[in-house]
Amino acid sequence: MGKYRYGRPATSAREQSTSRTIWRVSLITLALMVPIIIYIVISTLPPAPVTGKTIDKGSFDPNTTIKTNWFSFRVAKTWQAVPELTKEDSLYTYREMQGPNPQGLLQIYINRKPVSSEAYFSRVVPVTIIDGNSFEVGDLQPDCTTTTTDKNTQNFMANQANTLFPCWAGSPQLYIVAGEVGDDNYLTMSHGDGGSAQYMITYRNLAFIENDSTFSSVLKSFKSL
């Protein structure tokens, strides 16, 4: 006859071990089931009503329009104005950025000429003025030094794609100017109500990579105002 403890038979060690195992398995199973049950409940709930401002992710535009009283054009939102190199109504300067690194410098002169050290260029992008306020943009021309056979030539007037511009012979930089086909790098365009202004648009590549896609893109979106 088995022993009694408080009126009940004593449980054997084997039975106690089995009971503990069952208890542990039950706890583990419950722990695994709880998140599954919660997920099922949440996933079957109706969506909460949308309140406040909504964002259309499909309409994100990485570009922005830069606009002054004289012109407008579109560039990436990473571009920065350079106030220390800007003189209102005569010179506007913008820096192309990639992360913390400057990639290029765009300068637009209005009714003025740059200082002599900035007035010679290594390349030209020929443009045709359309309707007095925009451009048909041609291809970037080779280094202007290739237009002369005189190896001792320093700065001179080059003629490429029927465009005249001051050539910086042997320049180590990709320093580009827009030049009007059949004329020079001073672009007479409409401004205001029936008036006109003279523009000179330059781009200096600071990354030392032979790529004019940024400058061409600026010119294609450029409009005088």
> Where is average pLDDT lowest: 49-63, 68-82, 111-125?
49-63
Q: What region, left, alpha or beta, does residue 132 occupy, with left being phi > 0 and alpha being psi -120 to 50 degrees? A: left
The highest-level CATH class for domain 57-224 is: alpha beta
The answer to whether 92 and 179 are in contact (CB under 8 A) is no
Query: Quick check: 151 pLDDT over 70?
Result: no
Query: Quick check: 53 pLDDT over 60?
Result: no
The pair of three-digit structure tokens given for residue 133, joined into one six-digit string? 């306020």
Q: What is the per-residue pLDDT for 22?
A: 77
pTM over 0.85: no
Nearest alpha carbon to residue 128 among 73, 190, 179: 179
Average model confidence (pLDDT) across the chain? 84
Q: Coil, strand, or helix at residue 154?
A: coil
In angstroms, the CA 12 to CA 51 distance is: 64
In angstroms, the CA 85 to CA 113 distance is: 14
Burial class (CB in 10 A: 0-12, 13-18, 19+), 178: buried
